[in-house]
Amino acid sequence: MAVENWSETIRVVHLADDPQFSEDLIGLDPLPPRPGIVLDFTGVRFVNSSNIAKLLTLRRRVIAAEGRLLFCGVKDHVWSAFLVTGLDKLFEQAPDVSTALASIQLGLP
């Protein structure tokens, strides 16, 4: 997992095939005000319930800091895990890192 510091408040996290999420996932503790976090799922082939639970925790932290969390590059079979559980309504998705970054920087939904 590689963390790219795009700016003082925006981080791009390139996830590995078997993502190992942790409290320091984005290298920030505590989160800065109004953080923008982009999780790049391009290399991820599956997620499990533990991964989803940690993503929900991260989402809660980002929202509490008045920020945004976006997924990008999510393969259809990985996104289906979110669809089946109804979590697709909680997580924002963009097709790629560039689009996700533009959405955060311009404040687009």
Quick: pLDDT tens for 26-37.
555 677 788 999
Q: Domain segments of the chain: what residues?
A: 2-106
Residue 3's pLDDT is 79
Q: What is the β-pairing status of strands 2-5 and 10-14? A: antiparallel
**98: Cβ–Cβ under 8 A, 6 or more apart, which residues?**
none
Residue 24's pLDDT is 45
- Mean residue pLDDT of the chain comes to 86
The strand pairing partners of 94, in sequence order, are: 72
**pLDDT-derived band at 21, boundaries 50, 70, 90:** low
**Superfamily of 2-106 according to CATH:** STAS domain (3.30.750.24)
Residues 4, 75: Cα–Cα separation, whole Å: 21
pLDDT over 70 at 41, yes or no? yes
Q: Is 61 helix (H, G, I), strand (E, B) or coil?
A: helix
